[in-house]
Amino acid sequence: MRIGVLALQGDFHEHQAMLESLGAEVVQVRLPRHLEGLQGLIIPGGESTTIGKLAVDFGLIEPLRAFGKEHAIWGTCAGAIFLSSDARREQPLLGLMDIVVARNAFGRQVDSFEADLDVHFMGQANQRPFRAIFIRAPIIEQVRGEAQALVTLPDGRIVAARQGRWLATSFHPELTGDNRFHRYFLELAR
Ligand SMILES: NC(=O)CC[C@H](N)C(=O)O
Protein backbone atom coordinates (compact mmCIF):
# COMPACT_ATOMS: atom_id res chain seq x y z
CA MET A 1 0.00 0.00 0.00
CA ARG A 2 1.06 3.57 -0.61
CA ILE A 3 0.45 5.81 2.41
CA GLY A 4 1.41 9.45 2.96
CA VAL A 5 2.65 11.08 6.14
CA LEU A 6 2.17 14.82 6.36
CA ALA A 7 5.79 15.93 6.83
CA LEU A 8 5.49 19.64 7.68
CA GLN A 9 6.33 19.37 11.38
CA GLY A 10 6.12 16.80 14.17
CA ASP A 11 6.98 13.14 14.57
CA PHE A 12 6.30 11.93 11.04
CA HIS A 13 9.46 9.78 10.93
CA GLU A 14 8.09 7.52 13.66
CA HIS A 15 4.88 6.96 11.70
CA GLN A 16 6.91 6.27 8.59
CA ALA A 17 9.00 3.63 10.39
CA MET A 18 5.89 1.93 11.78
CA LEU A 19 4.16 1.88 8.38
CA GLU A 20 7.26 0.55 6.64
CA SER A 21 7.59 -2.21 9.23
CA LEU A 22 4.08 -3.25 8.14
CA GLY A 23 5.10 -3.35 4.49
CA ALA A 24 3.58 -0.05 3.32
CA GLU A 25 5.34 2.26 0.92
CA VAL A 26 5.53 5.72 2.53
CA VAL A 27 5.52 9.13 0.86
CA GLN A 28 6.37 12.30 2.80
CA VAL A 29 3.75 14.89 1.90
CA ARG A 30 4.79 18.54 1.77
CA LEU A 31 3.11 19.73 -1.41
CA PRO A 32 -0.31 19.07 -2.97
CA ARG A 33 1.17 16.93 -5.77
CA HIS A 34 2.60 14.49 -3.20
CA LEU A 35 -0.97 13.34 -2.49
CA GLU A 36 -1.31 11.78 -5.94
CA GLY A 37 -1.64 8.01 -5.90
CA LEU A 38 -1.85 7.67 -2.12
CA GLN A 39 -4.37 5.36 -0.46
CA GLY A 40 -4.33 7.12 2.90
CA LEU A 41 -2.62 9.82 4.93
CA ILE A 42 -1.37 10.16 8.50
CA ILE A 43 -1.11 13.58 10.14
CA PRO A 44 1.42 13.31 12.97
CA GLY A 45 1.67 14.79 16.42
CA GLY A 46 3.57 18.01 16.92
CA GLU A 47 2.13 21.47 17.29
CA SER A 48 -1.23 21.89 15.62
CA THR A 49 -0.93 25.66 15.15
CA THR A 50 2.41 25.19 13.35
CA ILE A 51 1.12 22.34 11.19
CA GLY A 52 -1.93 24.46 10.31
CA LYS A 53 0.08 27.55 9.41
CA LEU A 54 2.52 25.57 7.27
CA ALA A 55 -0.38 23.80 5.54
CA VAL A 56 -1.79 27.23 4.65
CA ASP A 57 1.62 28.43 3.40
CA PHE A 58 2.13 25.32 1.26
CA GLY A 59 -1.35 25.55 -0.29
CA LEU A 60 -2.37 22.25 1.27
CA ILE A 61 -5.64 23.05 3.01
CA GLU A 62 -8.03 22.54 0.08
CA PRO A 63 -6.05 19.63 -1.44
CA LEU A 64 -6.10 17.86 1.94
CA ARG A 65 -9.86 18.39 2.28
CA ALA A 66 -10.42 17.04 -1.23
CA PHE A 67 -8.14 14.06 -0.53
CA GLY A 68 -10.05 13.35 2.69
CA LYS A 69 -13.39 13.20 0.87
CA GLU A 70 -12.10 10.12 -0.99
CA HIS A 71 -9.53 8.55 1.33
CA ALA A 72 -8.65 7.48 4.84
CA ILE A 73 -6.92 10.02 7.08
CA TRP A 74 -5.64 9.45 10.60
CA GLY A 75 -4.58 12.29 12.89
CA THR A 76 -2.57 11.61 16.05
CA CYS A 77 -2.59 14.27 18.78
CA ALA A 78 -1.87 17.57 16.95
CA GLY A 79 -3.02 15.75 13.79
CA ALA A 80 -6.34 14.94 15.48
CA ILE A 81 -6.76 18.63 16.33
CA PHE A 82 -6.03 19.58 12.71
CA LEU A 83 -8.66 17.06 11.47
CA SER A 84 -11.34 18.40 13.80
CA SER A 85 -13.98 20.99 13.02
CA ASP A 86 -13.61 22.88 16.30
CA ALA A 87 -10.58 23.36 18.55
CA ARG A 88 -12.27 26.18 20.48
CA ARG A 89 -9.60 28.62 19.30
CA GLU A 90 -8.77 30.40 16.07
CA GLN A 91 -6.33 28.27 14.11
CA PRO A 92 -6.35 26.65 10.66
CA LEU A 93 -8.21 23.32 10.73
CA LEU A 94 -9.22 20.85 8.04
CA GLY A 95 -12.67 20.62 9.60
CA LEU A 96 -13.25 17.13 8.21
CA MET A 97 -14.21 15.27 11.40
CA ASP A 98 -17.30 16.30 13.28
CA ILE A 99 -15.49 16.41 16.62
CA VAL A 100 -14.78 19.19 19.10
CA VAL A 101 -11.36 18.99 20.77
CA ALA A 102 -9.86 20.74 23.77
CA ARG A 103 -6.11 21.25 23.41
CA ASN A 104 -3.65 20.51 26.22
CA ALA A 105 -6.56 19.16 28.19
CA PHE A 106 -4.67 17.30 30.87
CA GLY A 107 -3.03 20.33 32.43
CA ARG A 108 0.54 21.18 33.11
CA GLN A 109 1.19 18.70 35.91
CA VAL A 110 0.54 15.75 33.65
CA ASP A 111 2.20 16.96 30.46
CA SER A 112 2.93 13.35 29.61
CA PHE A 113 1.51 10.12 30.92
CA GLU A 114 0.76 6.58 29.87
CA ALA A 115 -2.50 4.69 30.19
CA ASP A 116 -3.80 1.23 29.32
CA LEU A 117 -6.66 1.51 26.85
CA ASP A 118 -9.42 -0.94 26.10
CA VAL A 119 -9.26 -1.57 22.35
CA HIS A 120 -12.02 -4.15 22.00
CA PHE A 121 -13.45 -2.09 19.15
CA MET A 122 -10.72 -3.66 17.00
CA GLY A 123 -12.34 -7.06 17.47
CA GLN A 124 -12.42 -10.00 19.81
CA ALA A 125 -8.76 -10.83 19.25
CA ASN A 126 -7.82 -7.57 20.96
CA GLN A 127 -8.25 -8.48 24.61
CA ARG A 128 -4.84 -7.10 25.49
CA PRO A 129 -4.93 -3.42 26.52
CA PHE A 130 -3.08 -0.87 24.40
CA ARG A 131 -0.42 1.01 26.36
CA ALA A 132 -0.86 4.58 25.09
CA ILE A 133 1.47 7.56 25.41
CA PHE A 134 -0.13 11.00 25.87
CA ILE A 135 2.00 14.14 25.36
CA ARG A 136 0.32 17.50 25.97
CA ALA A 137 -2.67 15.70 24.60
CA PRO A 138 -6.06 16.98 23.54
CA ILE A 139 -9.34 15.48 24.67
CA ILE A 140 -12.12 14.81 22.20
CA GLU A 141 -14.84 16.73 24.01
CA GLN A 142 -17.69 15.97 21.64
CA VAL A 143 -18.39 13.56 18.84
CA ARG A 144 -21.23 14.73 16.64
CA GLY A 145 -23.08 13.65 13.52
CA GLU A 146 -21.46 10.57 12.00
CA ALA A 147 -18.45 10.58 14.33
CA GLN A 148 -18.26 7.88 16.99
CA ALA A 149 -16.16 7.48 20.12
CA LEU A 150 -13.88 4.44 19.89
CA VAL A 151 -11.85 4.62 23.09
CA THR A 152 -12.49 6.32 26.41
CA LEU A 153 -10.42 6.64 29.56
CA PRO A 154 -11.90 5.09 32.73
CA ASP A 155 -13.34 8.54 33.62
CA GLY A 156 -15.25 8.62 30.33
CA ARG A 157 -13.12 11.14 28.45
CA ILE A 158 -12.85 10.30 24.75
CA VAL A 159 -9.35 9.74 23.36
CA ALA A 160 -10.08 8.07 20.01
CA ALA A 161 -12.86 8.61 17.48
CA ARG A 162 -13.77 7.50 13.99
CA GLN A 163 -15.96 8.91 11.27
CA GLY A 164 -16.11 6.65 8.23
CA ARG A 165 -12.51 6.39 7.06
CA TRP A 166 -11.22 9.15 9.33
CA LEU A 167 -9.58 8.34 12.62
CA ALA A 168 -8.48 10.66 15.44
CA THR A 169 -6.38 9.62 18.45
CA SER A 170 -5.25 11.90 21.30
CA PHE A 171 -2.25 9.70 21.93
CA HIS A 172 0.81 8.48 19.97
CA PRO A 173 0.74 4.84 18.80
CA GLU A 174 3.80 5.58 16.63
CA LEU A 175 5.89 5.94 19.82
CA THR A 176 5.11 2.45 21.12
CA GLY A 177 6.19 -0.96 19.91
CA ASP A 178 2.54 -1.86 19.40
CA ASN A 179 1.45 -1.59 15.78
CA ARG A 180 -2.25 -2.44 16.21
CA PHE A 181 -3.52 1.09 15.48
CA HIS A 182 -1.36 1.29 12.35
CA ARG A 183 -2.74 -2.05 11.18
CA TYR A 184 -6.27 -0.85 11.91
CA PHE A 185 -5.61 2.28 9.85
CA LEU A 186 -4.24 0.28 6.92
CA GLU A 187 -7.52 -1.67 6.92
CA LEU A 188 -9.47 1.61 6.77
CA ALA A 189 -7.28 2.76 3.86
CA ARG A 190 -7.56 -0.47 1.87
N1 LIG B 1 1.83 15.69 21.13
C2 LIG B 1 1.15 16.59 20.45
O3 LIG B 1 0.88 16.46 19.26
C4 LIG B 1 0.78 17.82 21.22
C5 LIG B 1 -0.32 18.63 20.60
C6 LIG B 1 -0.15 20.09 20.97
N7 LIG B 1 -0.23 20.27 22.39
C8 LIG B 1 -1.20 20.93 20.26
O9 LIG B 1 -2.02 21.51 20.89
O10 LIG B 1 -1.20 21.02 19.08
172 CB-near residues (< 8 Å, 6+ apart): 11, 14, 45, 76, 77, 132, 133, 134, 135
Q: What is the ipTM of this complex?
A: 0.96
Model-level pTM? 0.97
CA 58 to ligand 1 centroid distance, Å: 21
Residues 109-122 have pLDDT tens digits of: 678 999 999 999 99
Q: What is the best residue among 8, 15, 47 to mutate for testing ligand 1's pocket, by most ligand atoms within 8 Å of CB?
A: 47
Instruction: Kindly state the helix (H) or strand (E) to which residue 43 belongs, with its residue range.
Output: strand 40-43
- The matching CATH number, chosen from 3.30.70.2860, 3.40.50.300, 3.40.50.880, 3.40.50.2300, for 2-189 is 3.40.50.880
- Residue 167: which pLDDT band, with cuts at 50, 70 and 90? very high
Instruction: Kindly state the helix (H) or strand (E) to which residue 55 belongs, with its residue range.
Output: helix 48-57
Catalytically annotated residue among 62, 77, 114, 182: 77
The structural domains of the chain, with segments of one domain joined by +, span: 2-189
- Asked if pLDDT for residue 51 goes beyond 70, the answer is yes
